[in-house]
Chains A and B, each alone.
Chain A
Amino acid sequence: MTESSLIAADRPATENAAESADAILEMRNLSRVFTRQPVLAETLLKLAGRAPDIPVLRAVRSVNLSVQRGEVLGLAGESGCGKSTLGRMMTGILPASEGTVSYEGADVATLRGAALKDFTLGVQMVFQDPYSSLNPRQRVAAILAEPLTVHRPDLSRAQINARVDAALEEVGLDVSYRDRFPHQFSGGQRQRIGIARALIVEPQFLVCDEPIAALDVSIQAQVINLFLELRRKRNLTYLFVSHDLSVVRHMADRVAIMYLGEIVELAPTAELFADPKHPYTRTLLEQIPSVRNRKRSFSTVKGELPSPLNPPSGCPFHPRCPAAMPQCSVDAPQLQQIAPGRTVSCHLYDKDKTLT
């Protein structure tokens, strides 16, 4: 632990640059702020020279992350930490406020025409809520055929039908379901339809935004296995967003831990779960219940998740951190590499510090 931390660098981009040769999607200093439109009175105040205070929510703050071709990148954190916002920026549903997303080396903000279509269809999304992610007035066959009729005018009706049937079979649904409406399915089946819709445009990269959080526990395992099977068959890349660490552990090759819009730790799955570095990751992992020692007492993470409208100074985690130092409330730590493939953003691992 001690030797490796000496490689620390305060330039977060170095690691990404080294890996970018095979990166399918790369994010640099990516931020997203949400604010509301000024109402008329506030616009008038502004004209009068007294700018009003409109609250600004920083959902994602300067994230640097790259997704390697073929990997499953897990993204975990408490609810409200910006996981879904980050996922939506990766698919292009939400534009970035600052920073860039590059798809196969090209900044997606500059893409036009066929290149833009390649990106849009190449990065698809599976949504959290299977009850609102399907158009309630379209039959399953129409939901699955629409992307093809829009983007593949060269296909005949019969070819499209054949592909719709193949897509249904691929996600484990009976072909006879094609004329049903979404409400005639269970949550797990709806999620399968959502997956089939994303896959029918043959994407390379699938952003899964808590795809199993809304499902029954008994169904969760089936859908997870479907994801793993599809990955093997189609050589897909996943970003798997979840607040369930056991699912992330099962699925992911690498895991990024987010806290209040920032990535605080990034490591290969086995290493992260064996030896978490960031105090936040440690507290998160302590919360996983285990069957083996059921008499354990749980120490909750003290305090509440601070409001992203008014984040704490310095390190965002310092008010709740068990290892907080005076420096933490002043200085925001940068992501630094502490071992090959492992980065963490915490002052405990600053190179000139002796570690506890």
Chain B
Amino acid sequence: MAAPNTRLDRDEIVAVRQPLTNTPQRRAMLGKLKRRPSVRNSLIALLVITLIGLCLPFFAQQDPYDLTSFSVMDNRMPPMSESFDGMVFWLGTDGQGRDMLSAILYGMRISLLVGLVSTALALIIGVSVGLVAAVLGGRIEALLMRLVDFVLGFPSILVALVLLAMIGRGVDKVILAIVMVQWANYARIMRSSALSERRKEYVEAAHNLGYSTGRVMFRHVMPNSLSAVLVLATVQIASAITLEATLSFLGVGVPVTEPSLGLLVANGFDYLMSGAYWISFYPGIALLILIFSLNLVGDRLRTALDPKRS
């Protein structure tokens, strides 16, 4: 079987585009993901953070939401100091006497929650809008895509600030604000990849077999145009967390009773000049690790999924 070269090249490209359910590709992808130590470390960091977030009470020595568990007497103690009842504050305490390590762990959970939930919601909305625009076309497409342009035209921080100023604070409201500014990214990517997918012959075949538009859209076009959007989503989780931290830092994000990493940084900001650097510094480091890991993994995922690079 001396197939011409073009055929072989083609087979390779087709193989890389395959769903991940297939072992050789999955193995190759995971291999590519693992090969670089920085990426491997990021993956480990993410796993650890997620694990800690899931079973927090086992790791945190204090519940920062429980006002009776800490004393204002312990306020602004430096790292490694001991409280009067013998507890060691590894990373010091904040202005209310809360253990910084516990506050960071709880804050990470909130940041991660906001990042994941808002990305998932934005993904669902964006994918639906992009898909409908690509498949239906015409006026509906023009209307939806101009709306997308409109949303993308504003700086996301400005839109989120205005929204939160109107509807107030709260984890759910922050999520809503992030979804409102991020869905348009997915819609645009989804539309373009669905448009290129729609021209392929298997979609023509699906129409020709008399399938309904909805079936063609969700069973045939969508599964094949999702990969680009999913890669974008991994990077967007990090940007959602950043946005949440920024909003909280500016004082319109999560409420003071449920501090996220951004709010912790903001709380410590007042003490920064008076030498209590740890209140801002350690939450900032935690935020950095979280976002850096997410970005590295997302970036590497994109490279691994791209047949032309890697």
Contact = CB atoms under 8 A, between A and B. Distances in A.
A201 B208 CA distance: 11
A128 B223 CA distance: 23
B224 A127 contact: no
Interface in A178-228: 181, 183, 187, 194, 197, 201, 216
A192 B10 CA distance: 19
A281 interface: no
Given A131-B14, A133-B201, A135-B202, A197 B224 contact: no
B220 A183 contact: no
B208 A150 contact: no
B207 interface: yes
A157 to B, nearest CB: 18
A66 interface: no
A70 interface: no
Interface string B1-42: 101100100110011011100100000000000000000000
A302 interface: no
A131 B10 contact: yes
A115 to B, nearest CB: 12
A211 B219 CA distance: 25
B207 A201 contact: no
B211 A91 contact: no
Given A133-B201, A136-B18, A183-B14, A120 B7 contact: no
B208 A125 contact: yes
Interface string B221-245: 0011000000000000000000000
Contact of B22 (A92, A120, A150, A181): A181
A134 B208 contact: no
Contacts of A127: 201, 204-205
A136 B224 contact: yes
Contacts, number: 75
A251 B202 CA distance: 25
B200 interface: yes
Nearest to A209: B201
B202 A134 contact: yes
Contacts of B14: 131, 136, 183
B18 A181 contact: yes
Contacts of A136: 14, 17-19, 202, 224
Contact of A146 (B11, B19, B207, B211): B211
Interface in A116-166: 117, 120-121, 124-125, 127-129, 131-137, 146-147, 150-151
A223 B219 CA distance: 29
A40 to B, nearest CB: 10
A93 interface: yes
B205 A137 contact: no
B210 A91 contact: no
A326 to B, nearest CB: 44
Contacts of B219: 146
29 contacts: A88-B204, A91-B208, A93-B204, A93-B207, A120-B209, A124-B209, A125-B204, A125-B205, A125-B208, A127-B201, A127-B204, A129-B201, A132-B201, A133-B201, A133-B202, A133-B204, A135-B206, A135-B220, A136-B14, A136-B19, A136-B202, A136-B224, A137-B224, A146-B211, A146-B219, A151-B210, A181-B19, A216-B1, A216-B3
A56 B202 CA distance: 27
Nearest to B211: A150
Contacts of A150: 209-212, 215
A181 B7 CA distance: 18
Contacts of A134: 202
Interface in B116-160: none
Contact of A197 (B10, B15, B205, B207): B205
Main secondary structure of the interface of B (DSSP, over half): helix
B22 A121 contact: no
Contacts of A120: 208-210
B209 A121 contact: yes
A187 B11 CA distance: 10
Contact of A147 (B10, B11, B209, B220): B209
> Among the interface residues B17, B201, B215, which one has the most CB atoms of the partner chain A within 10 A?
B201
A120 B15 CA distance: 32
Contacts of B18: 136, 181, 183
A158 to B, nearest CB: 22
Given A132-B200, A150-B212, A216-B7, 18 more contacts: A93-B208, A117-B210, A125-B205, A127-B201, A128-B201, A133-B202, A133-B204, A135-B202, A135-B206, A136-B14, A136-B18, A136-B202, A136-B224, A146-B211, A151-B210, A181-B22, A183-B14, A216-B3
Contact of A132 (B3, B11, B22, B202): B202
Contact of A187 (B7, B19, B200, B212): B7
Q: Which 3 A-B pairs have the closest CB atoms?
A: A133-B201, A127-B201, A120-B210
Contacts of B212: 150
A303 B220 CA distance: 43
A181 B15 CA distance: 11
B202 A183 contact: no
Contacts of B201: 127-129, 132-133
Nearest to B200: A132
A69 B279 CA distance: 84
Interface in A212-260: 216
A89 to B, nearest CB: 12
Contacts of B19: 136-137, 181
> Among the interface residues B3, B10, B204, B223, which one has the most CB atoms of the partner chain A within 10 A?
B204
B224 A135 contact: yes
Interface string B188-211: 000000000000111011111111
A345 to B, nearest CB: 30
Contacts of B4: 216
A43 B15 CA distance: 44
Nearest to A215: B7
A228 B3 CA distance: 25
